[in-house]
Structure 1
Amino acid sequence: MKVHDLTTPALLVDAADLTANLADMAAALPGPRCRPHVKAHKTTALAKLQAAHHPGFTVATIREAEGMVAAGLGDDILLANEVLDARRLGALLDSGDARITLAIDSDETLAAAVAGGIREVVVDVNVGLPRCGVAPEKAGALADRARAAGLTVRGVMGYEGHLMLFPDEAERAKHTEECMAKLLAAHADVGGELISGGGTGTYAVNTWVNEVQAGSYALMDTAYTAAGLPFRQALTVLATVISVSDGWAAADVGLKSLGMDHGNPTVPGGQVWFCSDEHTTFAPAEPVSVGDRIRVLPAHVDPTVALHERMQVVEGEEVVDTWAVDLRGW
C-alpha cells in the first residue's frame, strides 16, 4: 500500500525517524536508566521495540497495564498514577505474568493498593507540579504505613512536568535541580532502590533520578521540538485538502484527530489559521489543489495518538506496517 491509498485522517510513523529516536535515547539513557512511558503512544508494537533497549515500562492507566501484560511486556511495570480501585491490577499479579508497582500519595490510595492485592508501591512526591503527590516531609511516614500494611516500598517518584517545555535548557536544569532536592529529601526518609521521575523534556538534565519516565521522545511533537529537544518528528497526521479558496485552504484534520492543548498543529510550508471539529484552515505558501495530501505535525503527541485506532508505519511513500493503538480506553 502507498501513503496516497490511505483514508484520511491517518497517523503516519516514519520508520527511520522512530528507529533513530529509540537508538538516541538508548545511547543517552541505556537499559534501566530509562523507563519508557507508554502513555505517549499507547501501542504495544512500539513498546516491543523499546523493550529491546529498556527492561521496564511506565504506564498511566490500568488499561495500559493490562495491555502490556497481555503483550508479554509485564516484567516490570510502574503505574505512575494514583488509583482508588486496584482489583484489576491484583488480578494481573495473580496471573503470575506481571510485576506491577503502584504509586501512592495518601492513606486512601494506600488502602486501595492493599485491597486490590498490590504488593509493591512507590511513594509519589509533589516536587512542584500541582497535581498528585504527597508533601516531601510526609513521604517517610506514608512509606512506614505502607510497610506496616505488608507492602514493599520500592522508593519514590516525582514528576517535574511543569518544566518539560522550558525553552532554555539551563533554566530547565536549574529548576529541575530544585525539584529533585525535594525528591531526594523524601527518598532519604522513604528508602528503596527507585528514584523515578523526569520525562522527555528533562531527560538530559535530570541526573538525580536513577530512572527517567520519558515517553514523547519516540514519536515527538512540535511543542518538544520548540523546546530544543533533539529527537526527530516521527509522527505526522496525513490529511487531504478538501477545499481551496482565495488565500486559504481547508484539510480534513481537526479537533477530533489532533491533541490541541499545546496549541495549533503545524502545516509545513503553510500558516495554520485555526482548527475546528473536522478541519484545519491554513494559508499555504505555495498553491494547493483539492485532493492534495499534506502532513500535519501535532503540537502534543499523547492526546493525538489516543484519538486514533491505528498508526501506519511508512518508509517514504510505502506503508510497511499497521500498528493498532491497542492501549486506548480505560
Structure 2
Amino acid sequence: MLVNELQTPALLIEQTALRHNLDTMTAALPGARLRPHVKAHKCTSLARLQYANGHRGFTCATIREVEAMAAAGLGEDLLLANEVLDTRRLGRLVEDGHRVTVAVDSAATIEAAADGGIREVLIDVNVGLPRCGCPPGEAGRLAGLARRAGLVVRGVMGYEGHLMLVQKEEERRERTEHAMTQLLAASADIGGELISAGGTGTCTVNTWANEIQAGSYALMDTAYQELGQPFKLALSVLGRVISVASDWAVVDVGLKALSLDHGLPRIDGTEVWFCSDEHTTFRTEGMPRRSVGDLVRVQPAHVDPTVALHDTIYLVDGPKVLEQWPVDMRGWR
C-alpha cells in the first residue's frame, strides 16, 4: 500500500525517525536506566521494538495498558505509575506470573493494592507537580503501612511533570535537582532499589533517578521539539485538503484526530490558524498554491492524547506503508 491510498485522517510514524529516536535514547539510557512509558504510543508493536533495544521494564498509565502488555508477552516488569482503587484485575496478572508494581500514596491505595493481590509497590512522592503523590516527609510512614500489609516496597517514584516544558535547559536542570533532592530524601527514609522519575523533557538532565519513565521520545511532538532534545518528529496525522479559498485551505484533520492541549499543530511551510472538530485551517496567502485532494502531514503538539484518538498506526517510509499496527492499549476495558 502507498501512503496516498490511505483513508484520512490517518496516524503515521516515519520509520527512519522512529529508529533514530529509539537508538538515541538507548545509547543515553541503556537497559534498566530507561523504563519506557507506553501511554505515549499505546501500541504493543512499538513496545516490542523498545524491548528489543534492551528495555525490559515498562511504565503504564492504565490497567488496560498493563493487561495488554502482559498479553503481548511483555510482562516481565510492569509499573502502573498511577493510583488505583480496584486492583483485582492486576492481581490476576500477578497470579499468572507477571510482575506488576503499583504506585501508592495513601493508606487507601495501599489497602487497595493488598486487597487486590498486588505484591509490590512504589511510594509515590509529590516533588512539585500538584497531582498525585504524598508529601516527602510522609513516605516513610506509608512505606511502613505497606510493609505491615504484606507488600514489598521497591522504592519511590516522583514525577517532575511541571518541569517537562521549561524552555531553558539550565533552569530545567536546576529545578529538576530541587525536585529530585526531595525524592532522594524520601528514598533514604524508606529504602528499596528504585528511584523512578523523569520524562522526555527532563531525560537529558535528570541524573538523580536510577530509572527514567520517558515515553514521548519515541514519536516526539512539536512541544518537546522546541526544547532541542536529540529526537526527531516521527509522528504525524495525514490529511487531505478538502477546501481551498483565496487566502487559506482546509485539511480534514481536526480535534477528533489530534490533541490541542499543548497548542496548535504544525504544518511545515505554512501557518496554522485554528482547528475545529473535523478541520484544520491554514494560511496559503504568499505560499505555494494548494489544491483540493493534496496530502498534508499535520504534526501534533502532544503525542499521547493524539495517539489515543486512533485505532491504527501506519509505519511508513516516505510514500510507502510498511506495516499497520493496532493501537491496542487504548480504552479502559
TM-score scaled to structure 1, two decimals?
A: 0.99
Partner of 2:101: 101
Over the matched positions of the two proteins, sequence identity in percent amounts to 64
* Matched ranges for 1:14-93 at <5 A: 14-53=14-53, 54-93=55-94
CA drift at 1:316 = 1.2
Partner of 2:8: 8
Letter in 1 for 2:132: C
In structure 2, the residue corresponding to 1:68 is in which secondary structure? helix
Partner of 2:314: 312
Letter in 2 for 1:279: H
**For residues 268-316 of structure 1, what are the alpha-carbon distances to aligned partners after superposition, in whole Å with 9 as ceiling and x for unaligned?**
1111000000000000322100000010000000000000000000011
Separation in structure 1 between the aligned mates of residue 149 and residue 316 of structure 2, nearest angstrom: 50
Separation in structure 2 between the aligned mates of residue 40 and residue 108 of structure 1, nearest angstrom: 28
CA drift at 1:55 = 1.3
Letter in 2 for 1:253: V
Separation in structure 2 between the aligned mates of residue 135 and residue 316 of structure 1, nearest angstrom: 49
Structure 1 stretches (4+) deviating beyond 6 angstroms? none
Separation in structure 2 between the aligned mates of residue 227 and residue 308 of structure 1, nearest angstrom: 26
Separation in structure 1 between the aligned mates of residue 134 and residue 210 of structure 2, nearest angstrom: 20
Letter in 2 for 1:42: K
Letter in 2 for 1:142: L
TM-score scaled to structure 2, two decimals?
A: 0.98
**For residues 56-111 of structure 1, what are the alpha-carbon distances to aligned partners after superposition, in whole Å with 9 as ceiling and x for unaligned?**
00000000000000000000001000000000000111112x10000000001001
Partner of 2:263: 263
Q: Does residue 174 of the first structure (1) align with residue 189 of the second (2)?
A: no
In structure 2, the residue corresponding to 1:35 is in which secondary structure? coil
Letter in 2 for 1:59: C
Letter in 1 for 2:109: T
Kept in 1: contact 2:13–2:219 (CA 8 A): yes
Separation in structure 1 between the aligned mates of residue 288 and residue 12 of structure 2, nearest angstrom: 23
In structure 1, the residue corresponding to 2:273 is in which secondary structure? strand
In structure 1, the residue corresponding to 2:330 is in which secondary structure? coil
Separation in structure 1 between the aligned mates of residue 207 and residue 227 of structure 2, nearest angstrom: 19
Letter in 2 for 1:74: G
Partner of 2:217: 217
CA drift at 1:230 = 1.6
Separation in structure 1 between the aligned mates of residue 227 and residue 203 of structure 2, nearest angstrom: 13
Letter in 2 for 1:327: M
Aligned length: 329
Separation in structure 1 between the aligned mates of residue 141 and residue 188 of structure 2, nearest angstrom: 12
Letter in 2 for 1:251: V
In structure 2, the residue corresponding to 1:320 is in which secondary structure? strand
Cα root mean square deviation, aligned: 0.5
Provide structure 2 residue ranges, at least 5 long, that are not aligned to the other structure: none
Kept in 1: contact 2:24–2:230 (CA 8 A): no
Letter in 2 for 1:214: A
Letter in 2 for 1:184: L
**For residues 136-180 of structure 1, what are the alpha-carbon distances to aligned partners after superposition, in whole Å with 9 as ceiling and x for unaligned?**
000000001100110000000000001001111100000000000
Partner of 2:296: 294
Provide structure 1 residue ranges, at least 5 long, that are not aligned to the other structure: none
**For residues 152-211 of structure 1, what are the alpha-carbon distances to aligned partners after superposition, in whole Å with 9 as ceiling and x for unaligned?**
000000000010011111000000000000000000111100000000000010000000
CA drift at 1:52 = 1.4
CA drift at 1:34 = 0.3
